[in-house]
């Protein structure tokens, strides 16, 4: 269980996670906020489909990868929570077509 230490709860922020609305603590990294919200696994690996979650929390392990605002393979520990963020678990490889192109 992830517990919050202080008595002052930071302001909550509305995001969507896997299509459902979710309230996350503002001012945190997406990884920290999701862990606190009880999200136990973030993705399934492309090779064997194994579940993974954050490991190092400092940007070197690349295990906390999520699809954020439509872009795949974002390091959740290096991204700050933002109001209206659309967060999705990544199952396997990036969907290049769904990501679309930027002209």
Backbone angles phi, psi at 25, to 5 degrees: -70, 125
Q: Nearest distance from residue 81's CB to other proteins, in Å?
A: 10
- The sign of the dihedral angle between the CA atoms of 74, 80, 85, 91 is positive
Nearest-angstrom CA–CA distance, 100 and 2: 36
Q: What is the chain's length?
A: 103
Q: Nearest distance from residue 21's CB to other proteins, in Å?
A: 21
CA-based nearest residue to 80, from 39, 9, 7, 28: 28
Q: Nearest distance from residue 79's CB to other proteins, in Å?
A: 10
Residue of the chain from 18, 23, 62, 86 that contacts other proteins (CB under 8 A):
62
56 in contact with other proteins (CB under 8 A): yes
45 in contact with other proteins (CB under 8 A): yes
- Write out the residues near other proteins by the rule CB under 8 A: 1-6, 25, 28-29, 32-33, 35-36, 40-42, 45-48, 50-63, 71-73, 78, 80, 92-97, 99-103
């Amino acid at each position: 269980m992830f517990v919050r230490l202080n008595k002052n709860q930071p302001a909550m922020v509305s995001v969507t996670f896997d299509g459902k609305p979710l309230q996350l603590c503002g001012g945190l990294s997406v990884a920290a906020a999701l862990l606190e919200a009880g999200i136990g696994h973030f993705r399934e690996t492309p090779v064997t489909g194994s579940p993974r979650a954050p490991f190092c929390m400092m940007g070197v392990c690349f295990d906390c990868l999520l699809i954020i605002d439509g872009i795949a393979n974002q390091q959740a520990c290096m991204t700050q929570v933002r109001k209206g963020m659309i967060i999705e678990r990544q199952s396997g490889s990036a969907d290049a077509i769904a990501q679309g192109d930027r002209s």
